């Protein structure tokens, strides 16, 4: 085994040993250090004892987020690191060209609940044989950080830049995605040069170099995220997208802005609430959970209601009011077209702040083309491909004080909303995260703290879906 791969494997195995359930009390090295010997804030090992957890569908993203938590970063800081790392290690579902939505819960927030940061990838403009979406990941994560971050933004994207420049290990997750579309990717020389080097499909454990992407991330670090949308980088990116058939215009880059929205919520009783993304997939998850709350065995009925609510929302139903969609007692029917892949991750810090995100390329590997000399794989325009159901939820308490209790993400095409609903219902009932696999084709990531945070960290458990290839990383 190459030395670099052995080191990465050892790091992953160590994290798995530390983070399987989160129930044991562990003594970290920093617990035994004091004064000048203790790592400084901003350095891994600064946080003593419980640091929270990070769960992602791709292990290197979870480890990058955990390192930020260990250095004293907030859940939002860790989410930025995870998102940018995914742009390097899982570009099939979350390249720098992607977009998505996040739920954020902050202990000190005046909202008395959760807030959504929406950065869905809109159409990039007219023209091109492979219409692309505006890249929204950088702008969306910057908006999340602006509201909830603490560490310098530029420091949080350095790990992703280094992985792109010096090589990221091909994970089982990414290798599986490559298996599906390798032959299609080979049709574009720029894409094949990156993801099929030498005409060979990389396998798990190989090292993937992306120097052009490293330069683009480095430009964002130095010049700021705005450079991709209204600076010199924006002009170069728009020109590159035209050469790739994506047709993204400078005007579309300037106009695409993330938004903040209050997250709609449902009461669980006893002062507990579950907040959901105000997207079709988030609202479908809330609708499915209401069915399961009444009858935990009514999974088919919950799935049908999720599909109906998602279909109604896509058709402009409920007056465009997310809370009205959750509160509705109607039973809409509907069916969804074949949906693309997505990916999810969540982060929770020691103070009980939390972020749960769902990201998408609107198609596995997006348009299948890279904007030349940028390294950015272009997401598919939602006018070309139907967008996925982005699903996530955060559970929190309001009795006596605001406190975090749980976070959930779901993926798996039409199964994403039901994955969140079942994970939420079963985790609360069992008082531990993800006690059973969610229904196919869904996959879920989950964290549950029955005693709430801050406070009862010893009760917290966290888990990645056992049928996937992700990682739950944290420590008590």
**Rounded to whole angstroms, how far apart are CA atoms 58 and 53?**
14
Look at residue 31 and tell me if it is in a domain: no
pLDDT by position in tens, the chain (length 476): 333 333 333 333 333 333 333 333 333 333 444 555 678 887 877 888 899 999 999 999 999 999 999 999 999 999 999 999 999 999 999 999 999 999 999 987 767 789 999 999 999 987 789 999 999 999 999 999 999 999 999 999 999 999 999 999 999 999 999 999 999 999 999 999 999 999 999 999 999 999 999 999 999 999 999 999 999 999 999 999 999 999 999 999 999 999 999 999 999 988 999 999 999 999 999 999 999 999 999 999 999 999 999 999 999 999 999 999 999 988 888 889 999 999 999 999 999 999 999 999 999 999 999 999 999 999 999 998 899 999 999 999 998 688 999 999 999 999 999 999 999 999 999 999 999 999 999 999 999 999 999 988 889 999 999 999 999 999 86
Say how many C-beta atoms besides its own lie within 10 A of residue 308's C-beta: 20
Question: Range of 125's domain?
Answer: 61-260+337-475
Look at residue 40 and tell me if it is in a domain: no
- Identify the DSSP state of 236: H
Count structural domains, the chain. 1
What's residue 9's pLDDT? 37
Look at residue 345 and tell me if it is in a domain: yes
How far does Cα 220 stand from its chain's mean position?
A: 20
Q: Which residues pair with 409 in a beta bridge?
A: 392, 445
Closest CA to 387 of 65, 101, 171: 101
As to burial, measured by CB atoms within 10 angstroms (0-12 exposed, 13-18 middle, 19+ buried), residue 108 is exposed
Look at residue 147 and tell me if it is in a domain: yes
pTM above 0.75, yes or no: yes
How far does Cα 308 stand from its chain's mean position?
A: 25
Look at residue 239 and tell me if it is in a domain: yes
Say how many C-beta atoms besides its own lie within 10 A of residue 287's C-beta: 29
Look at residue 296 and tell me if it is in a domain: no
Burial 296-307 (b: 16+ CB within 10 A, else e): eeebeebbbbbb
For the beta sheet containing 272-276, the strands, ordered from the edge strand earlier in sequence to the opposite edge, are: 265-269, 272-276, 391-397, 403-411, 443-453, 461-464
Look at residue 378 and tell me if it is in a domain: yes
**Rounded to whole angstroms, how far apart are CA atoms 234 and 88?**
20
Look at residue 273 and tell me if it is in a domain: no
């Amino acid at each position: 085994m190459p030395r670099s791969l052995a080191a990465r494997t050892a790091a992953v195995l160590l994290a798995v040993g530390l983070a399987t359930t989160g129930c044991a009390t562990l003594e970290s090295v920093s617990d035994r250090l004091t004064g000048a010997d203790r790592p400084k804030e901003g350095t891994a090992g600064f946080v003593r004892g419980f640091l929270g957890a990070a769960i992602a569908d791709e292990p290197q993203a979870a480890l990058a987020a955990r390192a930020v938590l260990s250095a004293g970063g907030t859940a939002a800081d860790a989410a930025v690191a995870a998102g940018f790392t995914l742009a390097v290690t899982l570009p099939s579902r979350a390249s720098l060209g992607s977009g998505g939505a996040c739920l954020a819960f902050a202990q000190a927030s005046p909202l008395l609940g959760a807030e959504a940061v929406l950065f869905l990838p809109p159409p990039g403009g007219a023209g091109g044989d492979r219409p692309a979406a505006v890249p929204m990941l950088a702008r969306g994560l910057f908006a999340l950080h602006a509201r909830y971050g603490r560490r310098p933004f530029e420091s949080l994207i350095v790990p992703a830049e280094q992985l792109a420049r010096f090589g990221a290990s091909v994970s089982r997750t990414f290798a599986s995605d490559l298996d599906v579309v390798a032959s299609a990717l080979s049709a574009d020389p720029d894409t094949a040069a990156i993801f099929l080097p030498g005409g060979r499909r990389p396998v798990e454990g190989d090292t993937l170099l992306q120097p052009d992407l490293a330069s683009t991330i480095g430009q964002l670090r130095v010049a700021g995220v705005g450079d991709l949308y209204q600076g010199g980088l924006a002009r170069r990116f728009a020109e590159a997208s035209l050469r790739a058939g994506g047709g993204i215009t400078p005007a579309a880059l300037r106009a695409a802005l993330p938004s903040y929205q209050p997250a709609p919520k449902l009461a669980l009783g006893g002062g507990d609430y579950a907040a959901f993304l105000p997207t079709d997939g988030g609202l479908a998850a809330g609708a499915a959970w209401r069915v399961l709350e009444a009858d935990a065995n009514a999974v088919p009925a919950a799935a049908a209601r999720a599909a109906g609510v998602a279909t109604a929302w896509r058709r402009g139903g409920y007056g465009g009011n997310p809370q009205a969609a959750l509160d509705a007692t109607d039973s809409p029917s509907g069916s969804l077209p074949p949906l693309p892949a997505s990916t999810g991750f969540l982060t929770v810090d020691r103070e009980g702040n939390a972020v749960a995100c769902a990201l998408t390329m609107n198609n596995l590997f997006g348009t299948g083309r890279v904007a030349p000399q940028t390294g950015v794989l272009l997401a598919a325009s939602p006018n070309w491909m139907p967008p996925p159901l982005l699903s996530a939820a955060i559970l929190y308490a309001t009795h006596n004080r605001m406190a975090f209790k749980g976070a959930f993400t779901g993926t798996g095409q039409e199964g994403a909303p039901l994955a969140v609903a079942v994970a939420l219902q079963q985790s609360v009932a069992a008082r531990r995260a993800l006690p059973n696999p969610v229904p196919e084709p869904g996959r879920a990531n989950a964290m549950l703290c029955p005693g709430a945070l801050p406070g009862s960290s010893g009760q917290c458990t966290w888990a990645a879906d056992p049928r996937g290839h992700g990682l739950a990383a944290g420590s008590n």
